[in-house]
Amino acid sequence: MKLGIVGLPNVGKSTLFNSLTKAGAESANYPFCTIDPNVGIVMVPDERLKLLGDMYQSKKVTPAVIEFVDIAGLVKGASKGEGLGNQFLSNIREVDAIVHVVRCFEDTNVIHVDGCINPMRDIETINFELIFSDLEILERRYAKVVKAARMDKTLAKEQALIEQLKDHLEAGKLAKSFVTEDEDELALLKEYNLLTYKPVIYAANVAEDDLADDGATNEGVQAVREFAKTENSEVFVICAQIEQEISELDDDEKAMFLEDLGLSESGLEKLIKASYSLLGLISYLTAGEDETRAWTIKVGTKAPQAAGKIHSDFERGFIKAEVVNYKDLLENGSLAAAREKGLVGMEGKEYVVKDGDVILFRFNV
């Protein structure tokens, strides 16, 4: 999974990125500067993996990972070259979802580019810049399609779609609110990789005092939540400054620190839950002496396609999947013991994989 982080300057965007990617331990070497995009790989915390890895005494435990891409802060007029412009938006066109960091805290020491705190205005500013960037993409595509349509009449449908999309965006609407049930048009919409067509998770960045009640008394957070409902987006409340402090701690210290703050989970864990929920993702597990590993798949994925995540041969030669719930496996101490109690199922091609399934695939190529 790949997530792109956007927001105005001084909203806590890079602080959040730094803390998230540090918390993930295994990060690539990447430059921390305002101009080049920062890219970091974060391991998805999963207690199930540790427990299964201990049970099997696995040589290797491999969690699922998320790649974060942090770009320079956008300002009003970025599409016209204000600030650093919007040339960095191309770096997040390939992401699965956008994390939009919105400032919901007052701090006289941290200047707001527009002079005062107003989360809804900030969201509108960023959305307009994303719309302008999408319009540039569509203009370029439109020029090619119009030229090619003179020789190929089948492109008339795409030409009409782009015209409708441009009108939609120019009216200040996001591409994801464009309604069509035509399969060809839906395929083209995905192909265009428009930023405003991507799912969004709003990270409401608050002061430490607003963390304990999850921003319930923060008017800015409430406004963001209400807005997010209208577009089926996710929201999670975070204090980027606190996240940075948490990222410096080991697991035991982290747990104590969170408890002192009255929190049950870190911002990274909140973000992962929000992104898995928004994108309709779950994890199934494989376990053994060599490796215990998490595999991320879409909700509704059937056993052969889940096997294909490991290797295409597994999908091509799929015979059966031996499936047990991770809790049943842990409680019984071994696959053999779980099998004796009838807790292991032999599933065929139509089996829909569930979150937390531990699977042994049988295949023949």
Whole-number pLDDT of residue 32: 32
Read off the pTM: 0.84
Question: pLDDT for 53-72, tens place per residue?
Answer: 999 999 999 999 898 888 76
Phi, psi values for residue 334, rounded to 5°: -165, 160
Which tokens sit at 91? 């770096």
Whole-number pLDDT of residue 122: 92
Please provide the average confidence, as pLDDT, over all residues in the chain.
87
Vertex 125, ends 92 and 104: CA angle to 5°? 95
Res 21 pLDDT > 90: no
Query: CA 94, CA 134: separation in Å to the nearest integer?
Result: 13
User: 82 pLDDT band (50/70/90 cuts)?
Assistant: low
Query: Beta strands 60-62 and 291-298: pairing type?
Result: parallel
Q: Find out whether 197 and 180 touch, Cβ atoms under 8 Å.
A: no
Question: pLDDT for 166-211, tens place per residue?
Answer: 999 999 999 999 999 999 999 999 999 999 999 999 999 999 888 8
Torsional class of 172: left (φ above 0), alpha (ψ -120 to 50), beta (otherwise): left
Phi, psi values for residue 250, rounded to 5°: -85, 175
Report, as an integer, the average pLDDT of 229-237: 92
Query: CA 305, CA 183: separation in Å to the nearest integer?
Result: 22
Query: CA 55, CA 281: separation in Å to the nearest integer?
Result: 26
Whole-number pLDDT of residue 233: 93
Whole-number pLDDT of residue 218: 93
- Of 218, 187, 191, residue with least CA distance to 205: 218
Burial class (CB in 10 A: 0-12, 13-18, 19+), 38: buried
Phi, psi values for residue 236, rounded to 5°: -135, 145
Residue with tokens 């490991």: 310
| Higher pLDDT pick, 120 / 19 | 120
User: 79 pLDDT band (50/70/90 cuts)?
Assistant: low
User: 28 pLDDT band (50/70/90 cuts)?
Assistant: very low
